[in-house]
Chains A and B, each alone.
Chain A
């Protein structure tokens, strides 16, 4: 996505914490999403933020700052199965724009 930036790749160790950042620019906004996509599979929904602050859901948390156009996904207690691509997306009315994704590799 040309107006969403996220790192291309990240590597972390099993059991550790990793933060994946996402910055975006948009004129209209009604939500910031994170999706997980394992290789060869369809994306699946992880989290949604529409107001500033932190949303926690088990090992995964997502943060949003609308004034800064910034979000992050925090993954705790990393497991090998967390190796996947993580897609940031913002929604403006009916359309969602996705970033190119961050490929996370979890090593033993």
Chain B
């Protein structure tokens, strides 16, 4: 199994509070991703990173920010949580994104509830 962990695994927070989710990898992979998954839906990309300090937006980036100061860590921050951000958040890593398979390996997920 790819060495990828997420913390916390579960969190309940109140509307308006800031929340930071952490993704940590031990594979030295270049690419890291944050997705959210809602019931009955696939994965929707929030932000991704293609190197230290290099990040880009995904399809649902509003209300989220990210930072990557080290290869192994990718942080997702909800500046002011809203109930619509209640979801399961998955982090993923991949070695590359060009030619070659470069499949994504997913972390175990973080279940976030905003009350």
Contacts and interface: CB of A to CB of B under 8 A. Distances in A.
Interface of A: 1, 4, 8, 30-31, 33, 35, 41-45, 48, 50, 87, 89, 91, 93-101
Given A95-B45, A98-B42, A42 B97 contact: no
Interface stretch (B17-25, B64-72, B99-107): B99-107
Contacts, number: 61
Contact of A45 (B41, B58, B105): B105
B109 A30 contact: no
A48 B95 CA distance: 15
A95 to B, nearest CB: 6
B103 A48 contact: yes
Contact of B90 (A42, A48, A89, A95): A42
B48 A94 contact: yes
Interface string B39-81: 0111111001010000010110000000000000000000000
A45 B104 contact: yes
A98 B103 contact: no
B104 A96 contact: yes
A31 B101 contact: yes
A43 B90 contact: yes
Contacts of B45: 95-97
B50 A94 contact: yes
B104 A1 contact: no
A35 B44 CA distance: 14
9 contacts: A41-B108, A45-B104, A87-B43, A93-B97, A96-B45, A97-B45, A98-B43, A100-B42, A101-B41
Nearest to B1: A44
Given A94-B50, A94-B56, A101 B108 contact: no
B59 A97 contact: yes
B48 A42 contact: no
Nearest to A101: B42
A4 B108 CA distance: 25
Contacts of B40: 8, 100
B34 interface: no
